Amino acid sequence: MRITLERVLILKSIDLFSAVPPDALVEVASILEEIEVEAGEEILHEGDMGTAMYIIVDGRVRVHAKGRDIAELGPSEVFGELAALDPEPRSASVTALEPTQLFKLSSAPLFELMASYMEVTRGILRVLCRRMRAGL
pLDDT digits (tens, 9 = 90+) for 82-127: 888 888 888 899 999 999 999 999 888 888 888 888 888 888 888 7
Q: Please say whether the beta carbons of 60 and 31 come within 8 A.
A: no
Worst-scoring range by mean pLDDT, 38-47, 49-58, 104-113?
104-113
The answer, yes or no, to whether residue 38 has pLDDT greater than 80, is: yes
Query: What is the per-residue pLDDT for 130?
Result: 81
Give the closest residue to 32 by CA, choosing from 95, 85, 109, 86. 109
Label residue 64 by pLDDT band (50, 70, 90). Answer: very high
Residue 60's contacts (CB-CB under 8 Å, 6 or more residues apart) are 72, 73, 74, 96, 97, 98, 100
Q: Please say whether the beta carbons of 105 and 48 come within 8 A.
A: no
Provide the CA 96 distance to its chain's centre, in angstroms.
14
Residue of higher predicted confidence among 2 and 108: 108
Architecture field, domain 4-134: Sandwich (2.60)
Residue of higher predicted confidence among 125 and 136: 125
Query: What is the per-residue pLDDT for 1?
Result: 66
Cα first-last separation, the chain? 32
- Dihedral of alpha carbons 30, 33, 38, 42, sign: negative
Separation of alpha carbons 136 and 117, rounded Å: 27
Domain ranges of the chain: 4-134
